[in-house]
Structure 1
């Protein structure tokens, strides 16, 4: 039987929405800090859809699907971080310009908030045996 810690689940969902929509993900010179929508719109919309489906599974008490989607959201966060890294390091075809761009663009604290929120979602559901 699956048991859910609702406080961790609700805090995790709230933090994922805040991390995806508001928190700065990268710092671009001359433009300032960018959130995920300004970095890549496709990653933003896929992330919002994953969060919406995960929250729907929580509210209709489909805990197996919620646990699976929490894991998918965690892996998706890692893939997003890797995608942004490769996009900044291989934006141009020239090695010189890629190195200059990679040195000027820096990750911000939004990635940490996103991964902590995904870890909260992962640890909110646990399996427990029934006592007969």
Structure 2
């Protein structure tokens, strides 16, 4: 009786080279070489504190205006970044301006807090016993 898997011969080196070359060709087809890097405006920037005694952190360098504008634009809220909502969930609450002007003399729409004899005793009882 023959042993398990004992009848296999080692693969042909020509066949192995052909598979390897096809594999490398497919990988090279999908790879891209990136030489220009930038900041993703949609990703939040994490600030790392500097070491107070390091010499390279204390060197004054001129600020790059384009980079600063990009960082400030990324930190804005969506209503200031875009002219219209980008997602369905942003549509809720996108328009924050009131439909009518608030008239503080109109008692139908404006309900200020009022102090009466009943509320005066409740306000005085907050700090201690009644």
With the shorter chain as reference, the TM-score category is under 0.3
TM-score (norm. length: structure 2): 0.21
Kindly indicate whether structure 1 or structure 2 has the higher relative contact order, using CA contacts under 8 Å at least 6 residues apart.
1
- Name whichever structure is richer in strand by fraction: 1
